[in-house]
Amino acid sequence: MTDCTSLWINRKDITKTKQVTFQVGDLADGQILVAIDKFGLTANNVSYAVTGDSIGYWQFYPAEGSWGIVPVWGCATVTTSKCGDIPVGDRLWGYFPMASHAVLTPGNIRADYFIDIVEHRRQLPMVYNQFRRTKAEPEFLQRMENERCLLFPLFMTSYLIYDYLIDNDFFGAQQVVIGSVSSKTGFGLAQMLRNDKQISQSIIGVTSPRNVEFVKNLGCCDQVVPYQNEAQIDPLLPTAYIDMSGDARLTINLHNHVGENIVESCMVGASHWQEGGKVGDLPGARPRFFFAPGQIEKRNKEWGPGVAMARAMIASAEVAERVAADINIEWVYGADSLADHWARLLDNQIAPSQGLMVVL
């Protein structure tokens, strides 16, 4: 029997947590048990919790009652297998529970990936159900485990937003404003836009005063604007607003400042989840939620299955290598320390230059 330790989050009040330890029972035929060696903890996980009911993130690893388990991106090793095609010792990267172990049911097995086909996940987005078998992948990816846990999921979202803007010819925008640009998804998007020499749109990042220098040092924005200074943004230019913050005040201020020149307003994250709320009727394009799997599905039909994710992976690796020196990894050991860092993350006390890697 294996003891599994997990941190559960109260779905109605995500500031409340509890540590849960239980014994994993005998595996059924076709199942595998994995030890989750490490996973990244970022504002992206806060967004999963904030939108867990509306988007369905709580459904991947169900808990009991009013409690939920936040999904995380991590690396794991197969410790027990009743699936003939997945050996003990196989190395995986994917979308795991915030826990020390997980039971998976591999299906559609290929040399470099499989799909978890457990019944309750069948209707959930496929991108989250795929687990990479990393020993079959290129060596450079195998060497980037920490970056894959901490940065790749965020930068892959950055790529899909970048692709979404290109796919829609930037909605006619001449400037792209990124809210909470100091978030990893935010500066990942800014860097991808900067790297594309065919893009002429100005890149404007909005962030807290304490993070202005960090963003300027990254060199990915034409203009960096501190919160409360949105009036510095040119209101005469058609503007695409990409909101990583979930800050209703920022959305309202920017829409009222730029007015009908807001040609796209795209909600992505919730790094400032405490400032969330309804924004009401605003001038310009109506704010709408960006759902990354939707862009993947569109590109799968146009480019072929897996092409968008492969391009996103390459783009993520390029940006990760570029910013690696600017990110300091802090290792978090045990459920108690994880709970403390979760609280700090909710309070925006984690610096953008800090990356949290968790070991349970």
Predicted confidence (pLDDT) per residue in 227-241, tens digit: 999 999 999 999 999
pLDDT at 293: 85
Residue 238 makes CB contacts below 8 A (sequence gap 6+) with 171, 172, 173, 174, 175, 261, 263
pLDDT of residue 277: 52
Work out the average pLDDT over 119-134. 90
Do 175 and 201 contact (CB within 8 A), yes or no? yes
String of b and e for 14-41 (b: at least 16 CB within 10 Å)?
beebeebeeebeebeebbbbbbbbbbbb
Per-residue confidence (pLDDT) for residue 269, from 0 to 100? 64
% of the chain beyond a pLDDT of 90? 76
Spell out the domains of the chain, with CATH numbers in brackets. 2-151+327-359 (3.90.180.10), 154-293 (3.40.50.720)
Mean pLDDT of 145-165: 94
What pLDDT is stored for residue 179 in this prediction?
A: 93
What is the model's pLDDT at position 55?
82
Give the position of tokens 């959305």. 251
Weakest-pLDDT range from 196-205, 267-276, 298-307: 267-276
Report pLDDT for 274. 46
Distance separating alpha carbons of residues 241 and 249, to the nearest angstrom = 14
Lowest-confidence segment of 172-186, 223-237, 267-281 by average pLDDT:
267-281
